[in-house]
Amino acid sequence: MDNLTHSLVGALLGQAGLKRKTGLAMPTLIIAANIPDIDAIAVLLGGDEHLALRRGITHGPIAMVLLPLLLWGIMLWYDRWQTKRGARPEKRLPVDAKWLLMLAYIGCLSHPLFDWFNSYGIRLLEPFSSQWFYGDTIFIIDIWLWCALIAGVWLSLRGERRGQPSWRVPAITSMAAIILYIFANGLITGRAEQLTGRAVQSQFGIVPAMVVANPVPVQFWKREMLWRDSNHYGQGVFSAPDQVVLDPKIGQHEMSNTFALAELSKDKNAKAFLFWSRMPVLREELREESKVRILSDQRFGNPLVQDRFRVVVPTEQDAK
């Protein structure tokens, strides 16, 4: 998910009552909810190699043990440093080391959970396994999730400032609504994949090896449907509860072209892209009298983002 969502999740956990457990609880929860994204530094590598590094080692089990410990140590040091300088805020609660550590773990663990909900993918077991996991449940930037999170945090903060004893209730209510929203979207995704698989078989006589219900912005009741078998791929649209409309056009993804794949494996950007890609598509194109191979991913076919998720590789002959 985007970092605003992660930050709001940390803030909501704090407003649900966890912020009263120890001093520095709220900043610890918010920072912890974002800290696995330190892998964003990989974009400095340039090219497309960063795709193979994102949502991997810093989102895996070792990181989930070490990152909260690192943050915990920094927050303890910060509190002591402020105390020595006489700059520690008087209203800050005493720091309870055990609770602070627990909150660092809670905030940090919320990050891979919410990242798993979308179709971008996450390697939950890295470095023990490089398998990608996909929730296909909510769009990577979900405005309805934002609304629920902001409302819960804001109403809870307002109640707290007014001295209302029930100031935690809006945050807890928002949390319950978010759980129901995510669960409902999971049911929509499951239904969409089931019906689309049947529709592809009925309309094209193809039993798809993979069907993906790709969440779309704003319209949470809809899915961009993507399907493929060993040679073909196609798409469609699903609208809850049971409407499936398939695009009559079918393409060949060329992932069985062993010669082309062998050549692509020699290119570092293409190799990284293929490691990251869930539904790769390969096509050849003539550019200025030179033939190039273009790698893309079905999930990111929207013209607004497709340029960010494709690799152009000269053929072996042109590269020389």
Q: Are 62 and 129 in contact (CB under 8 A)?
A: no
What does the pLDDT read at residue 226? 97
**Token pair of 102, please?**
């627990």
What does the pLDDT read at residue 257? 84
Distance CA 119, CA 108 (A): 20
In which residue ranges of the chain is pLDDT below 70?
44-48, 288-289, 316-320
Instruction: Report the alpha-carbon angle 14-19-25, nearest 5.
Output: 100
What does the pLDDT read at residue 303? 77
What is the total residue count of the chain? 320
Cβ-Cβ contacts under 8 Å for 248 (sequence gap 6 or more): none
What does the pLDDT read at residue 246? 97
What does the pLDDT read at residue 181? 98
Tens digits of residue pLDDT in 22-77: 999 999 999 999 999 998 887 766 666 777 788 999 999 999 999 999 999 999 99
pTM of the model: 0.91
Q: Are 157 and 16 in contact (CB under 8 A)?
A: no
